[in-house]
Structure 1
């Protein structure tokens, strides 16, 4: 969430600075569009990054992937 907040602040400030030569009204109107665009791109990046990092913290899970360790058919014990 902090990353998205920073993306919004940076996107808004950068868009405001880039549109400043066209006037303050244009810069003020355009800043939210730049902020939301950068926030959307950041959210896409974070969602893609989260789906591709599987078994990052558990190295033994990667090693045991595809190998059946134990099968219990009687679950009453």
Structure 2
């Protein structure tokens, strides 16, 4: 978490949160995190715009469909 600290605050008490993985939280990147970021793009910062996600229509310079 690059030196950032997260706390759980309850009234006047602040308790350091324990870092866990998405899996430990019962979350998945595609099903949960990605959908949350799309619904709340402000989490990415100011002046950031989501143009698309899961784009699957890539083409070569000749216009042929590019597959992964």
Fold conserved between structures, TM > 0.5? no
Instruction: Give the number of the structure whose alpha-carbon radius of gyration is greater.
Output: 1
Structure with more relative contact order (C-alpha pairs < 8 Å, separation 6 or more): 1
For the superposition of Structure 1 and Structure 2, which TM-score range results when normalised by the shorter chain? under 0.3
- Return the structure number with greater strand share: 2
